[in-house]
Structure 1
Amino acid sequence: MNPPALSTPHWTALTKEPDGLGESPFWHPQERRLYWVDIPGRRIARVAVDGLQAQGPVEYWPLTQEPGCIAPVQGDEQGGGLVMALRDGIYLAREWGGPLQLLAAAPYDTAKQRFNDGKCDAQGRFWAGSLCEPKDHALGALYMLDGQGLHAMVGGTKDGAHDGVVTANGLAWSPDGRTAYWADTAAHQVRAFDFDAASGQLTHARVFYQANPKPAGWAWGSAAPYGGRPDGAAVDAEGCYWSAQYEGGRLLRISPKGQVLAEVPTPALCPTMPCFGGADLKTLFITTARHGRSEQELAQYPGSGGVWAMRVEVAGVGVNAYRG
């Protein structure tokens, strides 16, 4: 039986200028701003939001490299700022548009790999996965940055490339912090792990959700059905995992037991990542992609590359800040 769908979700556009590939959105509760990145556009964006409406223009911070993911920094005597995973390393910026301090160099060949999806855990450690740009080997790994440096937690030098992924995505934690989720977009798979909060160790890997493979020769508009593949994700207060289905035009709400409870149609065929925000964490934001999409698809989905918002019934889990 198919999961229930919200046939007419009320999405509101927050942006007018589209991104090539929007990713890594997070709601900053103190600033009441939504932050995100445009990977091929090599920029970070932010905008103040009240309800479902942007307040003023979107601010852009141009970079010299592709940003894979970002997270807020916990404020101290030096202020807050952002931590960001760029192609060649993880950097700290104490202020918007300010100088970048290298925290850790990328532990891979930057000609073939780059950082992708990531975020902070509840302990304030920054996690970022990598992807293999040729997309022909599972060389992507999941790294964790703490006060002692950068550590390969899955794949990389820790467990070997056979435990890695082609495209790291969908990182999230359950509300109780005992389960971590991590997706390999190319494999159409989300994995779950037992998570030890004190050490950050991930154990007991298992398949949490497996999407159907992409039909051979599939392209948008073809007759072959295709529901998309797991991209970025967020978790709500009931422990459900919201997964953006790239090329599927939908979000899936998946129970902690791996059951698809609902699907939410999106205003772009390629949603990339959801997050929760607003004062009550009941505003759902999504980033989307238009880079490399066909003219026919963009004509059908003119909102591709935009950032969108809608209200939901169950509150989400808020963003965690980097504490070093």
Structure 2
Amino acid sequence: MQPETLAVERFEAAGQAPCEVGESPVWREPEQALYWVDIPARTIARLDAGTAKRTEWRLPEKVACITFDRHGTVLAGCETGLFAVTLSTALEASVRKLAAPVFPLPNMRFNDGRCDRQGRFWAGTMVQDMAAANPSGSLFRYDADGTLSAPIVDGLIVQNGLAWSPHGTTMYLSDSHPARRLVWAFDYDVETGEPRNRRIFADLNQFAGRPDGAAVDTDGCYWTCANDAGLLLRFTPDGRLDRSIALPVTKPSMCTFGGRELDTLFVTSIRPANGANEHDGHLLAVRPGVRGAPESNYAGVL
């Protein structure tokens, strides 16, 4: 499929330094602002869409994924567990550990995370040395009552791609390691938060790139960042690739819908260690002509 060449903007004020590993964009509709993280820099960033003012908070350890509760407190997946993070106007972040799995190996951390439509927070773990290709990662659920589940999906190398269909009855999960490059779909019980009937939804070994972070539009189509290919790929609910959008970065990492009409896809990116271009590591915005399904906040109170 020939990629579309839509207008892609840098959604940042001029002169901002690139992220090393930009991830987990979250649109906050009440604030008209976008939040995201830089994993190795241990930072949460915020950009006001109206003023282009950027704010950053530094955490004590690597932060890979974030969501918010109804009061605006951050729920963050980090190196040693899940944390409640309060972001102050004084650019200070106070953190409190909420829960942690028993990691089977040293040098692991949380990776991709997102809430289901009912406000349960899901996040997966990975061995930080990707070259080891170690399938010791697992997927966990953090319920509104503050309970962390046992591993629900295990055997993951680089967990990624969490998303839910608009009505929440299908859950998506990917493994973005070069040895996997798969997206799975599950039937999802919205009452119990249990995924069942795991099957391959999209095999990116047949396409360019690796399936990284993802989002779902109101048509129920699944958008995934094709890392290493510089593309956004859209798959219909039956797993058919129907759109491919070219991006000016090599390693797009995660996307989310935002803007006043939820018609903008915000895309974070990773800056390669070698051969990076001027856009790698920066935040992008593209309008693909469809609207996104709103993302849920965490249903509990942190």
TM-score (norm 1): 0.85
Q: Which whole-Å deviations, capped at 9, do the CAs of 1:83-109 have from their partners, x for residues lacking one?
A: 101100111124443421211024315
Q: Which of 45, 62, 73 matches 1:81? A: 73
**Amino acid across the alignment from 2:55:** E
Kindly state the Cα deviation for residue 291 of structure 1 after the two structures are TM-superposed: 4.3
Which digits, 9 at most, give the CA deviation of each residue in 1:160-193, with x for residues without a partner? xxx4210000000000110000000111000000
Counterpart of 1:227 (choices 201, 208, 221) is: 208
Is 1:67 aligned with 2:59? Answer: no
What amino acid sits opposite 1:124 in the alignment? G
SS of equivalent residue, structure 1 residue 212: helix
Q: Is the 8 A contact 1:179 1:194 kept in 2?
A: yes
After the TM superposition, which residues 247-262 of structure 1 pair with which residues of structure 2 at under 5 Å, given as runs?
247-262=228-243
State the partner residue of 2:140: 143
2-structure distance, mates of 1:260, 1:194: 20
- Aligned partner of 1:176 in structure 2 is 167
Choose 65-74 or 100-109, whichever is displaced more. 100-109
Tell me, yes or no, if structure 1 residue 195 matches structure 2 residue 188.
yes
C-alpha contact 1:84 1:91 (8 A) present in aligned 2: yes
Name the structure 1 match of 2:35.
35
SS state at 1:152 partner:
coil
Alignment partner of 1:56: what SS? coil
Which of 244, 255, 260 is the matching residue for 1:279?
260
How far apart are residue 124 of structure 1 and its match? 1.4
The answer for unaligned runs of 5 or more in structure 1 is: 156-162, 214-225
> 1:195, 1:201 within 8 Å by CA — same for their partners in 2?
yes
Cα deviation, 1:246-295, whole Å, max 9, x if unaligned, reads 10110101000000001001110100011000111001100001042x13
- On the 8 A contact 1:169/1:231 being kept in 2, the answer is yes
Task: Flag the 1:107–1:291 CA change in 2: closer, same or farther, 3 A.
Answer: farther
Structure 2 partner of 1:211: 204
SS at match of 1:141: strand
Return the match for 2:115 from 115, 120, 133: 120
* Cα drift, residue 121 of structure 1: 1.3
> What is the CA–CA distance in structure 2 between the aligned matches of 1:95 and 1:23, rounded to whole Å?
18
8 Å Cα contact 1:90/1:105 also seen in 2: yes
Equivalent-residue separation in structure 2 for 1:306 and 1:98 (angstroms):
23
Alignment-derived partner of residue 5 in structure 1? 3
Once residues 285 and 132 of structure 1 are traced to their aligned partners in structure 2, the CA distance between those partners, rounded to angstroms, is 27
- The alignment yields a C-alpha RMSD, in angstroms, of 1.6
Aligned partners of 1:315 and 1:136: how far apart in 2? Answer: 36
Identify the range of structure 1 (280-289 vs 133-142) with the bigger mean alpha-carbon deviation: 133-142
Runs of 4+ in 1 over 3 A off after TM superposition: 94-98
**C-alpha separation in 1, matches of 2:285 and 2:104:** 37
The aligned amino acid for 1:171 is L
8 Å Cα contact 2:182/2:205 also seen in 1: no
- The total of aligned residue pairs comes to 289
Contact in 1 for aligned 2:57/2:87 (Cα 8 Å) = no
Identity of aligned residues (%): 37
What letter matches 1:12 in structure 2?
A: E
Contact 1:45 1:61 survives alignment (8 Å): yes
Structure 2: tracts of 5 or more residues without a match: none
